[in-house]
């Protein structure tokens, strides 16, 4: 697992996202951890809902956190080749249904999100910036295509996406983030930068049970109240689908991996993305058992200590307003 070469300095990250209730919680977890994480910027992408609304949601979340100097950049409004697919059936028409968050008073920066990714990675010292990908991988893939030199400068890409043992959540074979833009995912997993994939196999172990949500609500701050409202809204879909005692909390696992990587287990394997088949579009074909001779290109995580995860999340959210 990658470690920071300068542990006394916070790790620099860019969050690429399509908020999304679970994306929002991931952003809040990162912004609540300034000793370990420096958020250089947030780039938004079409995914859970359209780009305009996702960008507005990102601004709302930044404002909720009180970290209003965090810059937000709007990125790509559609996948590289595909017709856009959205998930209002899970996240609501706003993409962030649940809490009544006010319209943001802060604004996006003028630069396109892809330009921000390229500029930042070329200007910052090599191997110092981690990309945290919480949505479809369009922005990151476009940056890699436009400026291939960034691949060798990225410290690591940590993405929530894919699934193998757990199958998919938008089709039987595919997880949503990969399904929306499989061509982008194919570019990213084969870009030669260090890639860590946090699939449904992990996030389906991180269940936001009533007790865990009550602990967040019990913090008594507005952020905890908002998260409780977000997750009690979005969980209704997964609770009905899976009939578990809590809904999976996907995207915050990316930030938790940066903060406490030893709460996860996984291994280096080959992962390829299906881009040709209509039946299995977006499937992450993970050679977890090494039955091919394809070279390893991804650190594929397999388990999470869910108790540690929710303890960390609750403790950090308590730091916010």
As a whole number of angstroms, the distance between CA 166 and CA 201 comes to 5
Which is the catalytic residue, given 91, 204, 228, 250?
A: 250
Provide the 8-state DSSP code for 80: S
How many Cβ atoms are within 10 Å of 298's Cβ, its own excluded? 26
The three state secondary structure string of 166-225 is: CCCCCCCCCCHHHHHCHHHHHHHHCCCCCEEEECHHHHCCCEEEHHHHHHHHCCCCHHHH
As a whole number of angstroms, the distance between CA 223 and CA 216 comes to 9
What DSSP letter does each residue of 289-316 carry, written as one string? T--S-PPP-EEEEEEE-HHHHHHHHHHH
Output phi, psi for 73, to 5 deg.
-125, 130
Output phi, psi for 74, to 5 deg.
-80, 135
CB 244 within 8 A of CB 205: no
CB 255 within 8 A of CB 234: no
| Burial zone of 71 (CB within 10 Å; 0-12 exposed, 13-18 middle, 19+ buried) | middle
Please name the helix (run of DSSP H) or strand (run of DSSP E) that holds residue 15, with its range, or none.
Answer: strand 11-17
Q: Which residues contact 19 (CB under 8 A, 6 or more apart)?
A: 27, 44, 48, 54, 57, 58, 61, 95, 96, 134
As a whole number of angstroms, the distance between CA 299 and CA 203 comes to 15
As a whole number of angstroms, the distance between CA 190 and CA 298 comes to 9
89 is catalytic: no
Which residues are annotated as catalytic?
250
């Amino acid at each position: 697992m990658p470690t920071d070469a300068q542990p006394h300095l916070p790790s620099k990250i860019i969050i690429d996202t399509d908020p999304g209730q679970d994306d929002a919680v991931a952003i809040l977890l990162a912004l609540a951890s300034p000793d370990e994480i420096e958020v250089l910027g947030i780039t938004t992408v079409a995914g859970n809902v359209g780009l305009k609304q996702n960008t507005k949601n990102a601004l709302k979340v930044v404002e909720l956190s009180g970290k209003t100097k965090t810059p937000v950049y709007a990125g790509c409004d559609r996948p590289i080749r595909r017709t856009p697919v959205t998930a209002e059936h899970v996240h609501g028409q706003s993409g962030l249904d649940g809490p009544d968050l006010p319209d943001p008073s802060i604004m996006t920066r003028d630069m396109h999100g892809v330009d921000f990714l390229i500029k930042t990675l070329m200007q910052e010292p090599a191997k110092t910036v981690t990309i945290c990908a919480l949505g479809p991988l369009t922005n990151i893939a476009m940056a890699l295509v436009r400026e291939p030199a960034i691949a060798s400068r990225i410290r690591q890409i940590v993405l929530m996406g894919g699934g193998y043992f757990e199958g998919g959540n938008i089709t039987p074979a595919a997880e949503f983030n990969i399904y929306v833009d499989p061509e982008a995912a194919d570019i990213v997993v084969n870009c030669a930068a260090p890639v860590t994939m946090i699939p449904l196999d992990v996030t389906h172990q991180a269940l936001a049970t009533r007790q865990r949500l009550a602990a967040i609500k019990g913090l008594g701050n507005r952020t905890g109240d908002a998260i409780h409202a977000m997750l009690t809204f979005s969980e209704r879909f997964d609770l009905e689908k899976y009939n578990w005692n809590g809904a999976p909390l996907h995207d915050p696992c990316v930030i938790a991996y940066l903060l406490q990587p030893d709460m996860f287990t996984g291994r280096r394997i080959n992962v390829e993305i299906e881009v040709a088949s209509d039946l299995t579009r977006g499937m992450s074909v993970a050679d977890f058992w090494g039955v091919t001779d394809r070279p390893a290109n991804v650190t594929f995580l397999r388990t999470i200590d869910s108790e540690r995860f929710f303890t960390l999340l609750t403790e950090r959210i308590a730091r916010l307003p």
